[in-house]
Amino acid sequence: MIRFIDIAIGAILAASITIGSARAAEDPNRLYSDSTLVTRDRFSDEIVGTGPDLVLIPGLASSRLTWRATAERLKAHYRLHLIQIAGFAGEPVRTNAAGDVLIPTAEAVDAYLVEQHLTPATVIGHSLGGTTTLYLAAHHGDHLKKVLLVDALPYFGVVMAGPAATPETLKPMADVIRASTQPAPGIDKMIASMVTSDADRTMVRGWGSLSDRSVVNRATADDLQLDLRSDLAKIGVPVTLLYPDNIPNGAPAAAMDGFYRSAYAPVPHKTLTRIDNSRHFIMLDQPAAFDAALDAFLKS
């Protein structure tokens, strides 16, 4: 568990990388030149493909390029909505320039799903995108068909202070993070704990360098203050969770099973799948296993 907490803290620190001085001349997150790009105050949606709608949300300080391989594989069979959060990975900050980020963005995504007649929606979220997805399942379940969470937790605070953690006990920490303007040390080591290959580490590091530090810090603080544990029992839509074994980070075999099973125990309709030999970015570390689990989810 100690090593897992180190990894989780690393996720916060890695997200606080100093803002890059150079910005891509074109949208750094656009996957396809012939896609449709819809821009809203708190996110944009790159729409590509034909078929049933799938909504995909990346994690903290991450780009929609998280889903590049998934998009390539599925766009012939699904219409993909590739969300990009304002302020992350070079996306302009727009309304996320001040105040809370996580819940207002989740509410904006929900309003968009309704507006665009995408409900009941199938939503896939990684990390903070998974937290956003779980929030939607808890608060707008009637707008969802089913959800897939990729290494996300009902309350991130438990990895900082154990199962007794609450938003109240972690408020001082959240306040410090929210107000911080300083880059974190040890970024390369932290990124190495989240993704395996050198190329993927470089990519994730680049997303962080293009992210707005204030947006990332406020979103992180929001995550420490959003506790969805009491909402889990009332979630009516099917929830699938993919989680890593963290063996590449030194975790004992199957050590993560009890942790995630306990975290999601109250959810009535759930499927939990461990992806072996994986770190936090499961889709990058173990693409074949991720694809198989995603296909099983889509067929369920």
- The answer to whether residues 46 and 26 touch, using CB atoms and an 8 Å cutoff, is no
| Core vs surface per residue 195-212: b (16+ CB within 10 A) or e | bbeeebbebbbbbbbbbb
Residue-level pLDDT at 4: 45
Q: Is 66 exposed, middle or buried (0-12, 13-18, 19+ CB in 10 A)?
A: buried
Residue-level pLDDT at 17: 45
Residue-level pLDDT at 18: 41
Any idea what DSSP says for residue 11? H
Percent of the chain with pLDDT over 90: 86
Residue-level pLDDT at 115: 98
Q: How confident is the model at residue 190 (pLDDT cuts 50, 70, 90)?
A: confident
- Crossing angle (nearest 10°) for helices 2-14 and 198-210: 50
Residue-level pLDDT at 184: 61
What region, left, alpha or beta, does residue 294 occupy, with left being phi > 0 and alpha being psi -120 to 50 degrees?
Answer: alpha
Centroid of chain to Cα 44 = 15
Find, among 163, 167, 138, the residue nearest to 231 by Cα. 138
pLDDT tens column, 219-278: 999 999 999 999 999 999 999 999 999 999 999 989 999 999 999 999 999 999 999 999
Q: In whole angstroms, what is the distance from residue 161 CA to residue 269 CA? A: 28
CB atoms within 10 A of CB 162: 11
Find, among 256, 252, 253, the residue nearest to 244 by Cα. 256
Per-chain mean pLDDT for the chain: 92
Query: Does 2 score more than 90 pLDDT?
Result: no
More confident residue, 95 or 27: 95
CATH number where 104 lies: 3.40.50.1820
Query: Does 20 score more than 70 pLDDT?
Result: no
Residue-level pLDDT at 19: 41
Total domains, the chain: 1
Tell me the residue range of the domain where 218 lies: 2-299
Q: In this structure, which amino acid lies at residue 118?
A: L
Q: In whole angstroms, what is the distance from residue 65 CA to residue 59 CA? A: 11
Find, among 90, 122, 106, 80, the residue nearest to 300 by Cα. 122
Q: What is the mean pLDDT of residues 202-215?
A: 95
Give the CA angle between residues 272, 275, 280 to the nearest 5°: 100
Q: In whole angstroms, what is the distance from residue 122 CA to residue 177 CA? A: 32
For residue 275, what is the enclosing H or E element? strand 270-275
Query: Does 300 score more than 50 pLDDT?
Result: yes
Query: Does 85 score more than 90 pLDDT?
Result: yes
Percent of the chain with pLDDT over 70: 90
Tokens of 139: 């608060």
Q: How confident is the model at residue 66 (pLDDT cuts 50, 70, 90)?
A: very high
Tokens of 128: 């903070």
